[in-house]
Chains A and B, each alone.
Chain A
């Protein structure tokens, strides 16, 4: 699985959009981009995933560049409860049982 690069930490003001970048320059055509978050040692929580197209759900939006070498997770209106470590992970499409490999992630602090 391709590796990802994320900034170690970011701050965001409450109520503003949080934009978390991720580089995955070695991603291959059959790999999804997944985002998870972990709030204070709780279990990792699934947020969203995508292959090529931008995706949106009730939690967030995922913007994937046309060349697929990077993506951005957008939390449209960050709240204090969004303070967490956010992980960007790539995982092979065909590997339906394949593991997720976690990096260090981005520690997002949402401040009042």
Chain B
């Protein structure tokens, strides 16, 4: 079964450092997402991406964050200067799209644990 894969599974970084989290969405999918989950809290939407641009972003997704699809397979989340409160599990997700009114299911990866110290 196709799946969304994420690397690294766990990263520890110093406050102020830049971090890039990588994701390989399911191959025929057109919509890509990043979510995060702070320990013990809800899964929160960060950003969605379609046709090489951001289609929607949340208030959390401020100027510290950026996303990119550098090639035909990878989708990355960059945090420019990490803060302690960025410590969380970050989930990448993708959906097929291209079929309006058919309920395009979003599939999630297993996540990347980011610990900022």
Contacts and interface: CB of A to CB of B under 8 A. Distances in A.
Contacts, number: 68
Interface stretch (B68-76, B79-87, B97-105): B97-105
Contact of A51 (B48, B97, B103, B109): B103
A101 interface: yes
Contacts of B31: 96-97
Q: Could you tell me the dominant secondary structure of chain B's interface residues? A: strand
Given A43-B109, A46-B107, A94-B100, A101 B45 contact: yes
Contact of B42 (A42, A43, A102): A102
Contact of A41 (B35, B37, B93, B95): B37
Contacts of B99: 96
Interface of A: 32, 34, 38, 41-46, 49, 51, 87, 91, 93-94, 96-104
11 contacts: A32-B103, A34-B105, A41-B37, A41-B111, A43-B111, A49-B103, A96-B95, A96-B97, A96-B101, A99-B45, A104-B42
Interface of B: 4, 30-31, 33, 35, 37, 42-45, 48, 50, 55-56, 89, 91, 93, 95, 97-111
